[in-house]
Amino acid sequence: MGIFSFWHQELAMDLGTANTVIYQDGEIVLDEPSIVAINNSTGKCEAIGHRAKLMHERENPGIRTVRPLRDGVIADFNAAEMMIRGFIRQVNSNRHSLITPNLKMVIGIPCGSTEVEMRAVRDSAEHAGGRDVYLIHEPMAAALGIGLDVEAPQGNMVVDIGGGTSEIAVISLGGLVVQESIRTAGDVFTADIQQYMRQQHNIRIGETTAEKIKIAVGAVIPDLDEDPEPYTINGPNLMTAHPVEATITHQEIAHCLDRSVAKIETSVLHVLEETPPELYTDIVKGGIYLSGGGALLRGLAKRLTDKINIQFHVANDPLHAVGRGTCEALKNTDHFTFLQR
């Protein structure tokens, strides 16, 4: 960026319900949980990202942890602004400039966002220092991040399963032809695991432990090519409060996530029903691409392929597909007509 880098800065941001990823000059410069710790007395930010995540579900009455985004959109405007400002400050910690840079940003948003929700994201970014703020729908960003030619006259289909929403879209000629955004995603899977542990093992666990179970033995089919090791947890018995130990297998998680995954299957079929025939033919030939953290659930591509009879492909590094896509969009803001200012 040379001599003008002090005056001009470009950031691409995947502002996710679970994690926020920021790219600069084509590289990841920040990958942190989307969470803020706030002092209840002063209202000031105590910590953000990983440090705040360590406090989550362990705070005292003087400090509360807030996840500013729920279901893919901003639920707490003040906390979101604190978080975005803090993350930008972290990225800029190595800059030794007295001048506030002219900040250009591209931010991914769910395709089901209302005008009010988009305004909230834009306002948060502008209050945190953004001068030129562009918004891109997450499935479009995911397709760019996967490496699909989104401007070609052919159908590409992407299923992006994030923390708050699952985004399903058919893309052609640089636009979303058919789209659906459902609030069945990573957070719902986590809640399913918590409920399952209460009902089947009579044990109470927090969000953090449920997430660890999801990562360690998360699966959507009982028969995998390679079975993960069972995962052991400790927690209080619901009736006696005595400490108990439970060992969880991937078959149990596949059973407990079955209903939620079925909702995603239904949405995929619904989008396919609405897809024009020529684009449908392209999708059958090229397959459907999975991105987002949910794509890491073991056996998901196989289950969806068997259910829908179209080949599903898991993107390379699915967690960062949307972030890579926002980065691609940032390089070509003048070229891409689907960016919203």
Lowest mean pLDDT among 169-178, 207-216, 332-341: 332-341
Token pair of 119 as six digits: 């305004």
Token pair of 82 as six digits: 């604190």
Q: What is the pLDDT of residue 95?
A: 58
Lowest mean pLDDT among 126-130, 149-153, 175-179: 126-130
Token pair of 217 as six digits: 């033995």
Q: Which residue has the tokens 């179970």?
A: 213
Q: Which residue has the tokens 């699909």?
A: 148
d(CA 333, CA 341): 10
pLDDT bin (cut points 50, 70, 90) of residue 207 is: very high
Phi and psi angles of residue 148, each rounded to the nearest 5 degrees, phi first? -80, 150
pLDDT single digits (tens) 82-129: 999 999 889 887 655 544 567 899 999 888 888 988 898 898 888 888
Q: What is the mean pLDDT of residues 133-145?
A: 95
Check: CB of residue 290 under 8 Å from CB of residue 165: no
With 50 as the cut, is the pLDDT of residue 34 above it?
yes
Check: CB of residue 207 under 8 Å from CB of residue 179: no
Q: What is the mean pLDDT of residues 329-340?
A: 87
Q: What is the pLDDT of residue 98?
A: 46
Lowest mean pLDDT among 100-109, 214-223, 265-274: 100-109
Q: What is the pLDDT of residue 140?
A: 95
Q: When comparing pLDDT for 72 and 79, which is higher?
A: 79
d(CA 156, CA 294): 19
Give the three-class secondary structure for 334.
coil
What is the tally of helices (H) and strands (E) in the chain?
Answer: 11, 17
Phi and psi angles of residue 134, each rounded to the nearest 5 degrees, phi first? -115, 145
Q: What percent of the chain has pLDDT over 90?
A: 78
Give the three-class secondary structure for 323.
helix
Q: What is the mean pLDDT of residues 293-321?
A: 96
Round the average pLDDT of the chain to a whole number and report it: 92
| Domain 2-141+322-331 top-level CATH class | alpha beta
Report strand pairing: 175-182 vs 166-172: antiparallel
Q: What percent of the chain has pLDDT over 70?
A: 96
Question: Between the CA atoms of 61, 67, 73 and 75, what dihedral angle is there, to the nearest 10 degrees?
Answer: 10
Lowest mean pLDDT among 125-139, 208-222, 228-242: 125-139
Strand partners, 259: none
Q: What is the pLDDT of residue 2?
A: 47
Phi and psi angles of residue 273, each rounded to the nearest 5 degrees, phi first? -60, -35
Q: What is the pLDDT of residue 7?
A: 63
Q: What is the mean pLDDT of residues 298-320?
A: 96
Q: What is the pLDDT of residue 250?
A: 97
d(CA 68, CA 81): 9
What is this structure's pTM? 0.92
